[in-house]
Structure 1
């Protein structure tokens, strides 16, 4: 699908307008987001994505609309995995509840910019080197195995090199100063200088951590469509609704005990789909003499049905297990009898470690990269 520059520009302006409206509402009255408010916003963003899909159907046809829906559902479902790490970051930085919505909004804005650059680079590579789908497919299958076996899970958040660099360049306050990211304060020599607050640090942490998650979600959506416009818009709509999902799901995340299996199946399925497509358009000289192989190709309609079916089965199985078999282990290595880490708020967890300053989380194992 050839997308003119003005369509790109109009799309980006429209998306920025929606985010600006959201920011205006948040900035006007910082508050703790409740389940009902989060539910309304999730419905709004899902409705916007549905309207966009309808627009694509009317303008570009069924294939483009189906690719967008498949990409959007895939990105949204894979983004749910981000929420676990977002909770760890919020807890590590002891973010006040009234500021969490603003933190997520700016953190996701940073993630959108970083993902946009990542998508442009990926589209350029895909358009020039078809063999890259062999690498994408193998990477997704390996990631699926890692997700299913629990190789991604860690209990603490550790600052990356970029955040440590910020701490070396600028001093960071130990306390939050409202919703401000920068303040002027005297240093040890009595001179006033710019200080960074934990507000900026946690927003950077969320934005850059999301980029790490994009390392598998971007190749996954390129397995469903090669159109950069659809890849970009599906990512934007998924991320825009993600922070509302954070407040809506809350403790429900702990009940989706089979979520990792469902995500693993989706990643493995798309990985196999990518390898089949790479074989179907093969140009590698050492494989079949550089000629394409006669292998079946999985259509986008089948892909969408599989993705939706896996998510539905995973969700139902998780809720049935928690509702009727609560005593069974929730993880392959056995569950715990204590309360889930996801059932506690950031304030609860920060209260357990009063010696750690708000802006200096205790290093431990890093989240999935």
Structure 2
């Protein structure tokens, strides 16, 4: 897709306008985000992404539109995995609920800027070195296998460990553990100190870089158009703040999400390897965008359904176990259930 500099500028200005509208309408005043507010804004961002995709269909044709929707769905599904870490970060820094939406807004903006750098670098590498598709494909297949191993492991990550960048910032800049509204710096005893608000924003933004290491190669496996890669990432990330509050309580129920994401990453990895072989003259079939979009959506639907069923089954089993462990009250209110040990003591 041939994208002019003018269209790039207009697109970036349009995205900035949407971000500004999101801030002034829903994020300017610190408050606890309700499920209704989160749901409305989530629908708005998904609808805006849909309208953008339809615009690509009208002005660019079916190929760019299909690549955008496949990339958007992939990035959106991978971004849900980010939310697990965001929950840990919020707990680590004890962010008050009233400030969480501000933290996420700025953190996501930092992540978007960093991803733009990754996208630019990835596009330049792909344009000059076609063999990089082998590396991207192998990396995604390895990441998929690693996700499966982590999903099958009984160990769960319960704490967030600060990265080197955050540790360096905390060492070089004096900080305080006290929040001062949404201020990034505060004054205590005549000293200017960095507040936890700034630290947690940097934590959200820089941690997303780790997720970009697999999400960027994944979307380049669906399209090599930098414009589509950037816009798909932008629309997927900009609704992440509202999605955090909408499905925050549902995250623990998505017990099979890692399996679904591993299938998607592995599938795209194979697609990249086939594409690289095809580019080198090897007669192998390529996976089309409609097939890719269908596989990705099907995996997400199946993963969600099986996750919810497994969670519901586990909750019923825990409820039944709890009920079985409680003693039954007798007519006079005393416990009428005796243990085997009690009965043996009576007989003795």
Is the CA contact (8 Å cut-off) linking 1:66 and 1:301 kept in structure 2?
A: yes
Contact 2:176 2:195 in 1 (8 A): yes
Partner of 1:298: 287
Decide whether the 8 Å contact of 1:123 with 1:228 is kept in 2.
yes
2:181 is the counterpart of 1:183: no
5+ long unaligned stretches in structure 1: 187-191, 283-291, 330-336, 338-369
CA RMSD of aligned residues (A): 1.6
Question: Could you tell which deviates more after superposition, 151-160 or 1-10?
Answer: 151-160
TM-score (norm 2): 0.88
Q: Which residue of 2 aligns with 1:210?
A: 208
Under a length normalisation based on structure 1, what TM-score does the superposition of the two structures give? Answer: 0.83
Residue from 312, 317, 336 that aligns with 2:306? 317
Correspondence for 2:330 = none
**Could you say which residue in structure 1 is the equivalent of 2:271?**
273
Q: How does 1:42-53 map to 2 (within 5 A)?
A: 42-53=42-53
Deviation by residue 1:195-228 (Cα, 9 ceiling, x = unmatched): 1100000000000001110000000000000000
Q: Is the 8 A contact 1:77 1:263 kept in 2?
A: yes
Shift of 1:323: 2.5
2:175 to 161, 165, 172: 172
Larger Rg: 2
Matched pairs, number:
316
CA distance in 1, matches of 2:175, 2:251: 32
- Per the TM alignment, residue 183 of structure 1 is displaced from its structure 2 partner at its CA by 1.9
3-state SS of the aligned residue for 2:150? coil
CA drift at 1:148: 1.4
Q: In the alignment, what sits opposite 2:36?
A: 36
In the TM superposition, 1:1-369 aligns within 5 A as: 1-150=1-150, 153-186=156-189, 192-282=190-280, 292-324=281-313, 326=315
Higher helix share: 2
Of structures 1 and 2, the one scoring higher in RCO (CA 8 A, sep 6+) is: 1
Partner Cα distance (1:328, 1:109) in 2: 42
For residues 250 and 84 of structure 1, the distance between their equivalents in structure 2, rounded to whole angstroms, comes to: 9
